[in-house]
């Protein structure tokens, strides 16, 4: 369907008794409107969580206590993690799913449009509750985003109740969104859209939605047990009452490890869409990508205790989780191989989405290698709870999930808005982000290997130089994202109209494009045999 036809359809839907202005956004059941709401909300949360990261890095710029007290530092590390995971990355992917899945499978809208509206509008309230807890007497949650017992039970204050309520609402939103995705893909595909013809983004989201439905109730159980231990006298995680604090870790990570893949599988779908487009080739090994994604999802349920090697599990348990974790790297390696094989001998055009995609492939792979190091049980005893772990998961979540979201935004913004983004600003954003993100996270490997513990507001003098460099990288990366905000809003407000840019500079050539980028300028014509 062309943009004009889509706009005509949308105006027809909204002209028949639909409210206008603010009410239109409140009551909308249009998948594009809801997708836009999710994306704008996730951008706001990204900036909020980023501001907290700036507080963390400002405090760590020098050894000693400078700016904030240790309790507030702990609140920042906790809420930064929660906001980035549940408020920035997951809603961004859900927004992309809302926008693109119906169009990719030929559906007029999502299957359950009213539930779609509801699943979005409970999110701002969840995060308002979470962020307002920071202004309570005694401050907000300060027990880490993993909220381990007994920190979240015995040693927390009454912000725990608000935190638990907020997490429940986020979980409800995720489950409703996942149900919507599954029902839409299963029931509303266009005639002829068989399973093995689905775009990879649709496949990855379908598998992600099943993961969400499987693990969100586990998170709900964990936070409910924390709530009852804290306020109702139960002893699930209290050894004095016959409970076990390590059981909390098992329950949390049984949710938490599939959650990690919930935050990266849609990214794989995005990269599998962008790389073929700008390589002018079909995706190499489509079927193997589908099977690899499915096997990652299945294996994600049997690796949770690799977060817990230092809790004293039996040797057989350590060996099982070590081998399972090493095994899950295989299907991920298949994906990286397929992306590289897709680019091999392609007529690559280095547009901004492709540059973010290539950065994703290189840096996500680097994060995967450090994850493989952490999988080795005896080595993990050394790395555990150091900045090496922080470096690892930020490489897979920032240069992984966040870079893929930025790649998707640049790739689809012209389709969403009808306007081309500013190439100059986008180039500045990419290069500043790429350089600063590595200055920020790469030295963390070194301070981690040297034994610097994470989540601590002070550190030994020998780590001072590296921490100053890390913090400078953090400040530059944070400022770079303001360029992204400028690009997005400039593109929404106007700019050069897309149709004038399509195939610019390639007139008179005839070629076949396997997976065309409908609204992108290619900087050079593809090779013609």
- Among the options 230, 257, 394, 520, which is catalytic? 257
User: How far apart are the C-alpha atoms of 225 and 153, rounded to whole Å?
Assistant: 9
Burial class, 354, CB count within 10 angstroms (exposed 0-12 / middle 13-18 / buried 19+): buried
CA atoms within 13 A on the CB side of 264: 26
- Among the options 133, 332, 399, 471, which is catalytic? 332
- Among the options 230, 306, 429, 445, which is catalytic? 306
**174-175-176 Cα angle (round to 5):** 95
User: How far apart are the C-alpha atoms of 419 and 501, rounded to whole Å?
Assistant: 10
Give the C-alpha distances (Å, rounded to integers) separating 390 from 66, 143, 396, 463: 22, 16, 10, 15
Q: Could you confirm whether 205 is annotated as catalytic?
A: no
Q: Could you confirm whether 318 is annotated as catalytic?
A: no
Q: Could you confirm whether 272 is annotated as catalytic?
A: yes
- Among the options 77, 152, 272, 433, which is catalytic? 272
Q: Could you confirm whether 529 is annotated as catalytic?
A: no
Q: Which helix (H) or strand (E) holds 504?
A: none
Give the C-alpha distances (Å, rounded to integers) separating 508 from 69, 209, 275, 347, 526: 66, 44, 25, 17, 12
User: How far apart are the C-alpha atoms of 212 and 156, rounded to whole Å?
Assistant: 28
User: How far apart are the C-alpha atoms of 91 and 88, rounded to whole Å?
Assistant: 6
**284-369-216 Cα angle (round to 5):** 80
Give the C-alpha distances (Å, rounded to integers) separating 512 from 281, 502, 526, 527: 9, 15, 9, 10
- Among the options 33, 59, 109, 380, which is catalytic? 109
Q: Which residues contact 311 (CB under 8 A, 6 or more apart)?
A: 246, 249
- Among the options 259, 318, 351, 380, which is catalytic? 259
Q: Could you confirm whether 429 is annotated as catalytic?
A: no
Q: Could you confirm whether 335 is annotated as catalytic?
A: yes
- Among the options 280, 281, 307, 392, which is catalytic? 307
- Among the options 189, 335, 392, 520, which is catalytic? 335
Q: Could you confirm whether 31 is annotated as catalytic?
A: no
- Among the options 118, 145, 148, 286, which is catalytic? 145
Q: Could you confirm whether 306 is annotated as catalytic?
A: yes
Q: Could you confirm whether 259 is annotated as catalytic?
A: yes
Q: Could you confirm whether 168 is annotated as catalytic?
A: no
User: How far apart are the C-alpha atoms of 394 and 247, rounded to whole Å?
Assistant: 26
User: How far apart are the C-alpha atoms of 395 and 392, rounded to whole Å?
Assistant: 5
DSSP state of 261: H
- Among the options 31, 32, 57, 80, which is catalytic? 80
- Among the options 14, 250, 415, 454, which is catalytic? 454
User: How far apart are the C-alpha atoms of 202 and 77, rounded to whole Å?
Assistant: 33
Q: Could you confirm whether 454 is annotated as catalytic?
A: yes
- Among the options 28, 94, 153, 174, which is catalytic? 174
Q: Could you confirm whether 14 is annotated as catalytic?
A: no
Question: Hey, which residues are catalytic here?
Answer: 80, 109, 145, 173-174, 257, 259, 261, 272, 306-307, 332, 335, 454
């Amino acid at each position: 369907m062309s943009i004009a036809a889509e706009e005509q359809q949308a105006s027809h839907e909204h002209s028949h008794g639909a409210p206008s202005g603010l009410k239109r956004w409140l009551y909308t059941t249009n998948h594009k409107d809801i997708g836009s709401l999710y994306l704008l909300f996730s951008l706001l949360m990204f900036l909020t969580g980023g501001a907290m990261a700036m507080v963390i890095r400002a405090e760590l710029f020098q050894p000693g206590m400078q700016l904030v007290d240790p309790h507030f530092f702990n609140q920042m590390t906790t809420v930064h993690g929660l906001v980035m995971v549940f408020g920035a990355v997951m809603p961004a992917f859900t927004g992309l799913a809302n926008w693109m899945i119906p169009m990719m499978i030929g559906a007029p809208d999502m299957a359950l449009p009213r539930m779609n509206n509801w699943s979005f509008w409970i999110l701002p309230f969840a995060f308002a509750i979470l962020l307002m807890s920071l202004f309570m007497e005694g401050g907000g949650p300060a027990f880490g985003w993993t909220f381990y017992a007994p920190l979240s039970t015995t040693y927390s204050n009454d912000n725990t109740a608000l935190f638990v309520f907020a997490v429940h609402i986020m979980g409800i939103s995720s489950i409703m969104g996942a149900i919507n995705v599954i029902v839409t893909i299963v029931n509303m595909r266009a005639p002829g859209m068989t399973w093995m013809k689905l775009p990879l983004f649709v496949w990855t989201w379908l598998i992600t939605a099943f993961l969400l439905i499987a693990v969100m109730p586990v998170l709900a159980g964990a936070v409910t047990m924390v709530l009852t231990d804290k306020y109702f006298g139960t002893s699930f995680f209290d050894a004095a009452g016959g409970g076990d604090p390590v059981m909390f870790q098992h329950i949390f990570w049984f949710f938490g490890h599939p959650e990690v893949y919930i935050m990266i599988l849609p990214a794989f779908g995005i990269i599998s869409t962008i790389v073929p487009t700008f390589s002018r080739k079909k995706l190499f090994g489509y079927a193997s990508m589908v099977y690899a994604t499915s096997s990652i999802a299945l294996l994600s349920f049997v690796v949770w205790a690799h977060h817990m090697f230092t809790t004293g599990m039996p040797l057989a348990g350590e060996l099982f989780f070590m081998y399972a974790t090493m095994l899950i790297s295989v299907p991920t390696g298949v994906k990286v191989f397929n992306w590289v094989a897709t680019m091999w001998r392609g007529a690559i055009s280095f547009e901004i989405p492709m540059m973010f995609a290539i950065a994703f492939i290189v840096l996500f792979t680097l994060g995967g290698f450090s994850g493989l190091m952490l999988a080795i049980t005896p080595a993990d005893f050394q790395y555990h709870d150091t900045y090496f772990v922080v470096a690892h998961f930020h490489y897979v979540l920032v240069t992984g999930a966040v870079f893929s979201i930025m790649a998707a935004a640049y790739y689809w913004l012209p389709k969403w808005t009808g306007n081309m983004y500013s190439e100059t600003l986008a180039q500045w954003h990419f290069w500043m982000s790429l350089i600063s993100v590595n200055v920020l996270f790469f030295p963390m490997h070194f301070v981690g290997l040297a034994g610097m513990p994470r989540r601590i507001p002070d550190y030994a003098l020998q780590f001072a130089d590296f921490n100053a460099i890390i913090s400078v990288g953090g400040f530059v990366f944070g400022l770079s994202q303001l360029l992204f905000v400028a690009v997005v809003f400039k593109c929404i407000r106007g700019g050069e109209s897309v149709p004038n840019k399509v195939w610019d500079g390639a007139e008179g050539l005839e070629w076949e494009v396997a997976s065309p980028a409908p609204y992108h300028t290619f900087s050079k014509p593809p090779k013609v045999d």
